[in-house]
Structure 1
């Protein structure tokens, strides 16, 4: 008699190989903060010193002290693997030396500023990719990142701070972390540290206090960090408790994000991923190609490439569908039916740019021709 109980089912060879690979993989511990100066690097070094006293083989791969005296002092006598020197355009740059660390093969390596973009000539374009190589080599990594560097919150952070964060990393990489520790201080404490010269050089203090480090902005970023870490904890508790044995709550949810050549397409994709992540849903991204876009060929191709990269980061299916003689709404309906979509996201401007008929005709047509599909209209300014 066959028993399909999840605990008694015989594992497939693929599942066994995956378990073996995971057991050999290094562990990733992330220190997450709401803003620079909360003490992430200091806490990494403090934990490293404690582990060293307990006999752990732990080294510094790359630590950015930013000239902070207390942080530099915390490095103490920890072994440092020499950085890799790279000459680029006549200047010397120093990056994480992945090969030397793998050769040294410590138990744990400290790697700061996870979202950093490496200089050309490095092993990988991004530091989080370096960390992935170290983890695959069986080396555990302690690393740090600020909440504003997560890809999916990019638009929210820009709205809060007025700053477009250019160095970003995929949320899917963050989800690989075995442990996430929030390093939290109040906005008042952070502003006090800044005023005392413990975060930036004196010439940057006044400008920072009045721009990024206002109480309102720091409070909003802190709330965002707390919420993101809380969501991560919820997912982990759910996995440990076994509540997803019969499949996640949103296993039948499928979200379709419709993007056009406008300024808010990437924002719409990020919003769709955040919904999909919370609902544990599949994510699809659709571009209806009409051939009469205001963008010329190379610009259009560049946009498509950006969307494909975001889709890859978010493990989403990316679909480009030629409009032909169909109305855009008809294309959306056909794709939605084909993939059994349950929720559709449209940008506010899509109703005017994709179709000349006024008063939300795309929405009305989708509602007439489909059933059990929720439609979300995301405003341009959100």
Structure 2
């Protein structure tokens, strides 16, 4: 298969069909100290052993180098067809990651872990392909030489005399589950070179002959043995941590200072090795100043490279903002409990040695309890007094007009002072004041410097003898001019510095305000969409770029939400096509950033970040980078912090939803338990009574008298009605809870509703005195009559059940404003205050000893409350004076039209 490197669409289409991660594979690295020690052969031999044990093995990409031993070991192994790319008219082959993932073997073999992929592939480096294979659950065997490990690059370059360009981060090597050192004696390796077993061609042997010197090979072998032993120790510590299930406490905390110097990479690697040796934390700190934005493009690129290197070596990136660089470093080190600071020192420059000495001395004085390690640099660092500007000063018509106007104004004031006989010192003060004012109202140092120079010249021209000439007769005038020029320069410089610091403080305050505002708004957001909306709006405000959010619903990306920055001229739809969405899908599946300014899908138009909490991805955020400058270090840190807060808010929302589901399940389980209790206990008594009485009637119908039969029939009828009422209450409760109840609201006479309800109450009502009281016989209310009748029946039956024989029960109604108040009162023993708070809860039953052995399910009053609330009324219970209980509820009153 031949693929053009510019045809990224087909690659992205294949990506969309990539299966999701199920389990993580294991990584085994075969390490050598030089080319030709036999890493590939050792890997292939191990693969054959795995294959004999029934493991599905595939050779993904093997560099045979036309060596007979390697070619022979490839026999019997399935070879994965390579991916062919067209580059400058030539066909080159690369490892086909998509084919490997779709093939899904148990084990895949990949040679040369540090290899750089050709343009057109998904990832820039092969170790990134390996990481994706591991996330897909595929085990990987791979090879590497020790000189390709990032932190060892400087040391090995000093031994070998050359530096390799293809390197891997230490974290990749340290993440290996197994490491096997492939060793051979240096003499045997040199002998293999001379016999043509490493480089068959004579020219290649001559080109690499300088590396195969015994002293160099011994040194490289020693480094490989030591580093491999360290890795084995790390693996043992990791296993020990997992078994003990405890955090690994580290006392040392290494801080490295980032700069834009090329040699800063050496400082970072040294700090990484120290952090690894001391088993300590590792932080890379960048101090952003006003001069950061004035760096050349080359310096910016170098700074981004150093930042990425620190990330690859496992550093936690931190950014602070301020002009006092040593003070900022010391303050951060104290706050973060740093134990060791590693920074680079440029070669001594006689013109700047005082400033450099001050930098180190001030840092030492500010952090006396912290060890400071100075790594010699061969090039000047970023922290220099006068940086090279990225572009020459820009002239502005407005600023030029302001400068000329200020000079003219100062000259006119000076001429006025001169006519009044003021001394020259007063006129000089006017020009110095003009320089100060010019620095405040113009941008850039060019106009301040120009104003300082022209102020001296204009003063000389108009106010020194001979007048209207640039000559000066007085011998003291040159000193005056020099003092005036110096004062003007100092004044303008201090004013510009104060102005820049004010701008920096305002920018820092604005960014901090945005971050705090984000935290406040996320706390107030009510649901997932609100959280995403607030986060996106804050990101637009912070970065001034168009933001696109893909929410994750059931492990699938939803439709993109586009948040366009103000006055944006770009079409945001161009950044949500299938190619861009495929990158977002990859970020979701792999929980990694990708897109523009990264090594994965670097041709994309957006930078994609996963909004994640742990291993769970809640959304994918895309920052439009097309035709935009890369994110600044400080902006990037704030953006990551903002996305972290968004992930926490989404996680909290997910937990709240889960808590609601659990609460609902608990309620359902409680309802189920109560129903089972009712069926197993409360319903058993009436059912047993019915079946027992029926059995007596069937078996002894001739023996029983008519009076006895009538008594049995009555008991059967009472128990059946009790069951019918119970079932009706259950059905009504179910309909109301499910929202299936249909309200038939009409104006009804309370007198008719009361009469109908009293016809269906408990037969034991004859043993109580029940009466109705209506202030107005034509009193009407808006209601569903069938439901209100059920409410009255439940309330009256409740009064009959819980009062003594012969009690007085009153059903009354009266109008209060626009509502009708209905009351059911009794003169029974009353209800305790504790019971009043629970009466309307479902399945609550008050303590009551009943003669028939039955007790209710506690549904009647709960049903009454649900019905009354559905009709727009309220229900409550209170004490009756002097004794007893009153249940009262309200209904909407209806006016009676007497003319009808």
TM-score by length of 1: 0.86
Deviation at residue 198 of structure 1 after TM alignment: 0.2
Is the partner of 1:252 in helix, strand or coil? coil
- Kindly indicate whether residue 222 of structure 2 is the aligned counterpart of residue 227 of structure 1: no
Q: Which has the higher contact order (CA 8 A, sep 6+)?
A: 1
Q: For 2:47 and 2:172, how far apart are their aligned partners in 1?
A: 23
1:320-331 superposed matches below 5 A: 320-324=319-323, 326=324, 328-331=325-328
Residues 67-114 of structure 1: CA distance to partner in whole angstroms, max 9, x if unpaired? 111111111121111111111221111111111112221111111011
- What's the secondary structure of 2:354's corresponding residue? coil
Contact 1:363 1:375 in 2 (8 A): no
Q: How does 1:170-185 map to 2 (within 5 A)?
A: 170-185=169-184
Give RMSD over aligned pairs. Answer: 2.7
Q: Deviations over 1:28-48 (max 9, x none)?
A: 111000011000001111111
Change in Cα spacing, 1:260 to 1:103, as seen in structure 2 (3 Å) is closer
Q: Which residue of 1 aligns with 2:573?
A: none
The 5-angstrom pairing of residues 236-315 of structure 1 reads 236-241=235-240, 247-248=247-248, 251-291=250-290, 296-315=295-314
Kindly indicate which of the two structures has a greater share of residues assigned to helix: 2
CA contact (8 A) 1:65 1:71 kept: yes
Greater gyration radius: 2
- The reply to whether residue 334 of structure 1 matches residue 331 of structure 2 is yes
Q: 1:244 to 1:311 in 2, by over 3 A?
A: farther
Residues 1:349 and 2:346 aligned together: yes
Q: Give how far 1:149 is off.
A: 0.7
Query: 364-373 or 181-190: which moved more?
Result: 364-373
Q: In the TM superposition, what whole-angstrom CA distance separates every residue of 1:166-215 from its partner, at most 9, and x where no partner exists?
A: 10111111122110000011211110000000000222223422x11111
Instruction: Indicate the residue corresponding to 2:202 in structure 1.
Output: 202
Q: Extract unaligned runs of 5+ from structure 2.
A: 1-19, 379-900
> Residue 116 of structure 1 corresponds to which residue in structure 2?
115
| Counterpart secondary structure, 2:212 | coil
Separation in 2 of the partners of 1:263 and 1:109?
37
What SS does the corresponding residue of 1:357 show, helix, strand or coil? helix
The SS at the match of 2:211 is coil
Deviation at 1:322, TM superposition (A): 4.4
Distance 1:255 1:41, change over 3 A: same
Greater CA drift, 152-161 or 350-359:
350-359
Q: Does the Cα contact within 8 Å between 2:171 and 2:312 map onto a contact in 1?
A: yes
Q: Contact 2:262–2:302 at 8 Å: present in 1 too?
A: no
Summarize the alignment of residues 60-75 of structure 1 with structure 2, pairs less than 5 Å apart.
60-75=59-74
Q: Check the 8 A contact 1:273/1:283 in 2, yes or no.
A: yes
Q: Distance in 2 between matches of 1:48 and 1:121?
A: 30
- Unaligned stretches of 5+ in structure 1? 1-20
Matched, 1:134 2:133: yes
After TM superposition, give the deviation of residue 234 of structure 1 in Å. Answer: 1.6
Task: Label 1:55 to 1:261 Cα distance change in 2 as closer, same or farther (>3 A).
Answer: closer
* Alignment check: 8 A CA contact 2:261 2:303 kept: no
CA contact (8 A) 1:351 1:361 kept: no
Task: Rate the CA distance shift 1:335–1:354 in 2: closer, same or farther, 3 A.
Answer: farther
Contact residue 260 and residue 300 of structure 2 kept, 8 A: no
